[in-house]
């Protein structure tokens, strides 16, 4: 017996600032109506990956699913834009559940900041001088010094973004792993990163933080002049993305690994 398809009766439409996205917003609201985000069963995001991440971030505490329609540039996290059959597409969509990373950063002056990342937490040098970092995994020192432009810890959902550009691995959603990827390593030259269990707690210490300042970012949220950064997956928060069955996130990640 086939399970009944979900029906989402209350839809909220959101759009990026791009003119084509704003035009699509007006047409979609005219065709399907719209409610406030706080009243919605599902949110349809018209834009690019940036809008998808921004919308997921707003709803990571209530778990409202987001169905993206590409009106941006790359749109890796979005479905193909089409105005017809929207209700049927949403009802038949495949859900991908992701969990964010929680970053706790301590600045040189002792200030503590907490941010949440959907794609990755990254550390980058702030000046022309390379960063000197130390890496701990579950409080065990794993690398006592790495000299590089930076490091990043990526979720499976973020593994095809900045992580892939830094030559990190693509991670399927259900693999239970995080990618620890260096950026422009000077020493040790042969170290290319590591795959870590998602339950791990990762801590970076900045060596010579005063002379070689480093900034930490949770996606686009930046903290400058950090002395240490601790990261772990936040399993208490879940975000749900909806994809057309033939365009699931797992399928896109698999296809990306065979792209030429």
Read off φ and ψ for residue 167, nearest 5 degrees: 70, 30
**Ligand-binding site membership of 160 (annotated):** yes
Burial of 39 (0-12, 13-18, 19+ CB in 10 A): exposed
Closest CA to 81 of 15, 129, 5: 15
Residue environment code for 176-205, b if the CB has 16+ CB neighbours within 10 A, otherwise e: ebbbbbbbebeeeeeeebbebebebebbbb
What are the tens digits of pLDDT across the range 1-37?
344 445 678 999 999 999 999 999 999 999 999 999 9
Q: Is 49 a catalytic residue?
A: yes
- Tell whether the model's pLDDT for residue 81 goes beyond 60: yes
Instruction: Check whether residue 126 and residue 210 sit in a common domain.
Output: yes
**pLDDT value for 2:** 40
Cα 254 to Cα 217: distance, rounded to the nearest angstrom = 27
Residue listed under structure tokens 């260096």: 182
Residue 73 within any structural domain of the chain: yes
242 and 229 co-located in one domain:
no
Considering 41, 49, 109, 219, which one is annotated as catalytic?
Answer: 49
Q: What is the pTM of this model?
A: 0.82
Same domain, 61 and 163: no
**Which among 57, 64, 73 has a CA at the least distance from the CA of 16?**
73
Q: Are residues 155 and 215 in the same domain?
A: yes
- CATH number of the domain that residue 47 is part of: 3.40.50.10330
Domain that holds residue 244: 11-98+237-257
**Average per-residue pLDDT in the chain?**
92
Q: In the chain, how many domains are there?
A: 2
pLDDT of residue 174: 77
| 178 labeled part of a ligand binding site | no
Give the model's confidence band at 249: pLDDT under 50 very low, under 70 low, under 90 confident, else very high: confident
* Residue 253 pLDDT class (50, 70, 90 cuts): confident
Q: How far is CA 34 from the centre of its chain?
A: 27
pLDDT of residue 82: 94
162 marked ligand binding residue: yes
pLDDT for 31: 95
- Secondary structure of residue 173 in the 3-state scheme: helix
Tens-place pLDDT, residues 38-64: 999 999 999 998 899 899 999 988 989
Is residue 6 domain-resident?
Answer: no
In eight-state DSSP terms, residue 80 is P
Count how many Cα atoms sit within 13 Å of the Cα of residue 213 in the half-sphere of its side chain. Answer: 10
Task: Say if residue 161 carries a ligand binding annotation.
Answer: yes
Instruction: Decide: residue 36, CB within 10 A, 0-12 exposed, 13-18 middle, 19+ buried.
Output: exposed
Section 189-205 average pLDDT? 95
- Interval 87-94 mean pLDDT: 94
Q: Give the residue with greater pLDDT, 142 vs 5.
A: 142
């Amino acid at each position: 017996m086939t399970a009944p398809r979900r029906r989402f009766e209350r839809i909220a439409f959101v759009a990026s600032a791009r003119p084509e996205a704003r035009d699509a917003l007006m047409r979609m609201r005219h065709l399907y109506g719209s409610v406030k985000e706080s009243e919605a069963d599902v949110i349809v995001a018209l834009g690019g990956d940036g809008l998808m991440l921004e919308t997921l971030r707003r709803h990571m505490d209530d778990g409202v699913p987001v169905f993206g329609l590409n009106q941006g540039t790359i749109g890796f996290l979005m479905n193909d834009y089409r105005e017809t059959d929207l209700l049927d597409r949403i009802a038949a969509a495949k859900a991908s559940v992701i969990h964010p990373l929680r970053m706790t950063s301590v600045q040189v002056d002792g200030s503590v900041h907490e941010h949440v990342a959907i794609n990755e937490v990254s550390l980058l040098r702030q000046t022309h001088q390379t960063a000197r970092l130390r890496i701990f995994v579950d409080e065990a020192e794993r690398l006592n010094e790495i000299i590089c432009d930076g490091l990043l810890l990526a979720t499976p959902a973020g593994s095809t973004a900045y992580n892939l550009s830094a030559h990190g691995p693509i991670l399927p959603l259900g693999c239970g792993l995080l990618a620890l990827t260096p950026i422009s390593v000077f020493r040790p030259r042969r170290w290319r990163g590591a795959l870590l269990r998602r339950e791990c707690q990762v801590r970076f210490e900045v060596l010579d933080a005063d002379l070689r300042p480093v900034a930490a970012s949770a996606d686009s949220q930046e903290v400058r002049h950090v002395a240490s950064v601790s990261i772990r997956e936040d399993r208490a928060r879940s975000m749900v993305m909806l994809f057309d069955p033939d365009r699931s996130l797992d399928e896109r990640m698999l296809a990306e690994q065979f792209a030429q």
